[in-house]
Amino acid sequence: MKPAALGPDKKLRARSANPWYKEMWKHRMTYTLLIPGLVWLVLFAYLPMGGLSLAFKHYKANEGIWGSPWVGFENFKYVFRDPTFAQAVWRTLYINIIKLVITFPFPILLALLLNELRMRKTKKLFQTVFTFPQFLSWIIVSGIVINVLSYDGLLNSALQLMGLPTINFLGSENMFLPMLILTDIWKSTGWGAIIFLAAISGIDQDQYESAQIDGASRMQQIFKITLPNILPTVTVMFILNVGGLMSAGFDQIFNLANAATQNVSQVLDVYIYRITFQSSTDFSFSTAVSLFRSLVNMILLLAADRVAKLMGGDGLFR
Amino acid sequence: MSTATAKRHKYRIGKMTFLDYALLVVLIILSLMILIPFINVIAISFASQKEYADNPMMLFPKHPTLDAYKALFNDGRILTGFWNTIKILVVGLPLSLFLTSTMAYGLSRDKFPGKKLIFFLVLFTMIFNGGIVPLYLVMKSLHLTGTLWSVILVGSFSAFNMILMMNYFQGLPESLMESARLDGAGEWKILFSIVLPLAAPIMATITLFYGVAFWNGWYDAMIFLRKAEMLPLQNVLRTIIVESSTNVSNASSVDALNKSGFSTGMKMASVFVSMVPIMCFFPMLQKHFAKGVLTGAIKT
């Protein structure tokens, strides 16, 4: 509590002296503004969250989520005993970690390249070309990818023309992860570069000028000035990506997988979809898996946020 | 000192050195790697089946034809998809803007009891969600599955967009709203007659965000809708492209295509027509998304 003050503070003090119900009555109009959004939140965010209680119940269609009987942790016993579940978790982490490590440097490299380009208009044009694929759905992109990478598509025809062996990008288990990495780089690098370009444009130009006076080469400027300056942004972006390790890539994987790659494409989200909507449904079991996924997601995200803050970044939530 | 100015001068305007040309060449090659797949897709969509079979690498058809497009539109499924997506946009966009702006304005007001709690409730949905299974059961118990409403409603609020808008509202001069309040205007009137007209840039940004999300959305529709004639564009595209080519890898594509009834030309035509609206809005999208993402990532 601050001591009484004059001016605007006085008003503030007077306000907070009101009992809460008077305050609420005073702001009744504001509450009516919040009602539509709150109704949405309750119906489509918090009711489903409450529905997660099904993970501890035995679902009966005629009793619904709320009426089904409680069974404790029984569903989880089955979940953790299911080898497909363990495989799906392992597969998710395997795909997303390798993908993250390999794809992460590309946007930074592209941002550096674009930044070094001196022709402003051309730079804008390049940016437009590179960012466009980001705005297409993975369904559209998979149409393009299937056309380019299929057995008789653009790339294999070109390889053939050059007398090189063709590659079965889409139908082989070994090529599945490389294909995901390749298509992800194609789609997302340009967009990712925008964020690093913005960070670069915020660097104080004096640093470059004095480096030039000292005779630093452009390479030296990149390594001694540009990269150290964007390091905080790089860290935050990396950590943000770590936060999504359990859920990233579903759209891509779901739309690029096929019968031939069924075994290697079963990540957790695909697994949840299959057990819920494609096979004989046990909603309690799927909900238990769902809850596991949401919890791990939350823990990853919060941990990532913590680390980002510890490293001096802004974090996800202020 | 004079050399320093010269060097600075060189950096600003400068002559193109070998390094600059090398850089330009690298960037041109990279952008060709982005562009060529698109050009190939478009070329195939305008080529005859025979020309495609002879030369799948084509970048420009020798005898352009609209056959693939005619066949695609005669089939009609893609048109149904377009129509359903348009319905979703026409209802979903106003609804989402209403839900987002009312909440954003409410939460941008001075302190009131419960403000922090309500903001936390919004924020929490970004960290934790029930996932698809309980959402499906809730939708079913609300009798919304099997109607376009399910897709519209689920997509009509995003915590991220709300927070972006709230930040913008907080930056508006409070004196304007205060004077309206003294004139006896209620909060709803202030929102619609003072705040929203001042908030054109953020409204444009958020409209584009929701628009792209609705346009590109397919997962909710796949879960909630059962009948083929209700599916939005992306799902129709998915049936045409992904589901009919599960075996492109090992079967010769001509066989696979005959089975599915869609020629490669038709598939590429459907990819192209789904892309066109995004291409038209792209200059706007690029500008606003960059702004939005940056304020979101750096400021939130």
Q: Which residues of A186-201 are buried (b: 16+ CB within 10 A; e: fewer)?
A: bbbbbbbbbbbbbbbe
CATH code of the domain covering residue B254: 1.10.3720.10
Q: Please give the residue that has the higher pLDDT: either A46 or B293.
A: A46
Q: What residues of chain A lie within 8 A of the CB of B245, using their CB?
A: 146, 150, 258
Q: Are B156 and A260 in contact (CB < 8 Å)?
A: no
Q: Are A34 and B127 in contact (CB < 8 Å)?
A: no
Domain span including residue A142: 78-310
Look at residue B62 in the predicted model and tell me its pLDDT. 87
Distance CA A231, CA B27 (A): 24
Q: Is the pLDDT of residue B160 over 60?
A: yes
- Within-domain flag for A58: no
Beta bridge partners, A70, equal A57
pLDDT in tens, A83-125: 999 999 999 999 999 999 999 999 999 999 999 988 888 888 9
- Tell me the residues of chain A between 68 and 107 that have a Cβ less than 8 Å away from chain B: none
Rounded average pLDDT over A129-136: 92
- Tell me the residues of chain B between 75 and 94 that have a Cβ less than 8 Å away from chain A: none
CATH code of the domain covering residue A126: 1.10.3720.10
Q: What residues of chain B lie within 8 A of the CB of A192, using their CB?
A: none
Look at residue B173 in the predicted model and tell me its pLDDT. 86
B196 and B137 share one domain = yes
- Within-domain flag for A83: yes
pLDDT in tens, B2-58: 444 444 444 444 567 888 899 999 999 999 999 999 999 999 999 988 888 888 888
- Compute how many other C-beta atoms are within 10 angstroms of the C-beta atom of residue B163: 23
Rounded average pLDDT over B271-294: 81
Q: Are B56 and A152 in contact (CB < 8 Å)?
A: yes
- Within-domain flag for A8: yes
A294 and A179 share one domain = yes
A118 and A9 share one domain = no
Look at residue B14 in the predicted model and tell me its pLDDT. 59
pLDDT in tens, B182-237: 988 889 999 999 999 988 888 988 998 899 999 999 999 999 998 889 999 999 99
B112 and B35 share one domain = no
The whole-chain average pLDDT of chain B stands at: 85
B49 and B112 share one domain = no
A101 and A19 share one domain = no
Please tell me the total count of domains within chain B.
2
Rounded average pLDDT over B96-101: 97
Look at residue A314 in the predicted model and tell me its pLDDT. 60
Least CB-CB distance to B187: which of A29, A50, A126?
Answer: A29
Look at residue B228 in the predicted model and tell me its pLDDT. 87
Q: Is the pLDDT of residue A22 over 70?
A: yes
Rounded average pLDDT over A187-215: 90
Q: Please give the residue that has the higher pLDDT: either A314 or A290.
A: A290
Residue of A nearest to B282 (CA): A132
The whole-chain average pLDDT of chain A stands at: 87
Rounded average pLDDT over A200-206: 88
Beta bridge partners, A83, equal none
Rounded average pLDDT over A47-64: 89
B146 and B281 share one domain = yes
- Report the candidate in A119, A123, A118 with the shortest Cα–Cα distance to residue A193: A123
**CB pairs under 8 A, 24+ apart, for B8-11?**
B8/A209, B8/A212, B11/A208, B11/A209, B11/A212
Look at residue B110 in the predicted model and tell me its pLDDT. 81
A110 and A200 share one domain = yes
- Tell me the residues of chain B between 227 and 266 that have a Cβ less than 8 Å away from chain A: 234, 237-238, 241-242, 245-250, 252-253, 264
Distance CA B151, CA B47 (A): 36
Q: Please give the residue that has the higher pLDDT: either A314 or B160.
A: B160
B168 token code pair: 């913008």
Residue A316's pLDDT band (cuts 50, 70, 90): low
Look at residue B107 in the predicted model and tell me its pLDDT. 94
Least CB-CB distance to A30: which of B20, B109, B242?
Answer: B109
Look at residue B60 in the predicted model and tell me its pLDDT. 87
SS3 B12: helix
Residue A311's pLDDT band (cuts 50, 70, 90): confident
A209 and A283 share one domain = yes
* Residue B35 contacts A where some CB pair is shorter than 8 Å: yes
A233 and A97 share one domain = yes
- Within-domain flag for A129: yes
For A140-166, what is the HEC assignment? HHHHHHHHHHCCCCHHHHHHHHCCCCC
Among A158-162, A269-273, B155-159, B256-260, name the one with the lowest average pLDDT.
B256-260
A139 and A283 share one domain = yes
A145 and A267 share one domain = yes
Q: Is the pLDDT of residue A163 over 80?
A: yes
Distance CA A152, CA B25 (A): 29
Q: Are B249 and A113 in contact (CB < 8 Å)?
A: no
B82 and B51 share one domain = no
* Residue A130 contacts B where some CB pair is shorter than 8 Å: yes
Q: Please give the residue that has the higher pLDDT: either B292 or B262.
A: B262
A16 and A94 share one domain = no
A211 and A296 share one domain = yes
Q: Is the pLDDT of residue A78 over 80?
A: yes
The one-character DSSP state at B147 is: S
B192 and B220 share one domain = yes
CA distances from B166 to A27, A269, B25 (A): 18, 32, 44
A164 and A114 share one domain = yes
Could you say which of B65, B97, B120 is where a domain stops?
Answer: B65
Output the pTM of the full model: 0.86
Residue of A nearest to B55 (CA): A157
B97 and B230 share one domain = yes
- Within-domain flag for A4: yes
Rounded average pLDDT over B162-167: 90
Distance CA B155, CA B161 (A): 12
* Residue A32 contacts B where some CB pair is shorter than 8 Å: yes
Look at residue B291 in the predicted model and tell me its pLDDT. 67
Domain span including residue B223: 71-299
Look at residue A317 in the predicted model and tell me its pLDDT. 56
Distance from CA of A98 to the nearest CA of B (A): 23
Least CB-CB distance to B138: which of A48, A114, A128?
Answer: A48
B133 and B278 share one domain = yes
Q: Are A143 and B35 in contact (CB < 8 Å)?
A: no
Q: Are A144 and B37 in contact (CB < 8 Å)?
A: yes
Look at residue B300 in the predicted model and tell me its pLDDT. 35
Please tell me the total count of domains within chain A.
2
Residue of A nearest to B272 (CA): A140
Distance CA B68, CA B47 (A): 8
Look at residue B8 in the predicted model and tell me its pLDDT. 46
Q: What residues of chain A lie within 8 A of the CB of B163, using their CB?
A: none
B47 and B93 share one domain = no
Rounded average pLDDT over A230-248: 85
Task: Answer whether B155's CB lies under 8 Å from B217's CB.
Answer: yes
Distance from CA of A117 to the nearest CA of B (A): 7
Most confident range (mean pLDDT) of A53-62, B83-92, B291-300 is B83-92
* Residue B274 contacts A where some CB pair is shorter than 8 Å: yes
The pLDDT > 90 percentage for chain A reads 49
Look at residue A309 in the predicted model and tell me its pLDDT. 79
Look at residue A308 in the predicted model and tell me its pLDDT. 76
- Compute how many other C-beta atoms are within 10 angstroms of the C-beta atom of residue B244: 17
Q: Is the pLDDT of residue A267 over 60?
A: yes
B76 and B203 share one domain = yes
Q: Is the pLDDT of residue B101 over 90?
A: yes
Could you say which of B32, B47, B65 is where a domain stops?
Answer: B65
Look at residue A5 in the predicted model and tell me its pLDDT. 41
Among A44-53, A309-318, B36-45, name the one with the lowest average pLDDT.
A309-318
The one-character DSSP state at B111 is: P
A31 and A91 share one domain = no
Distance from CA of A146 to the nearest CA of B (A): 8
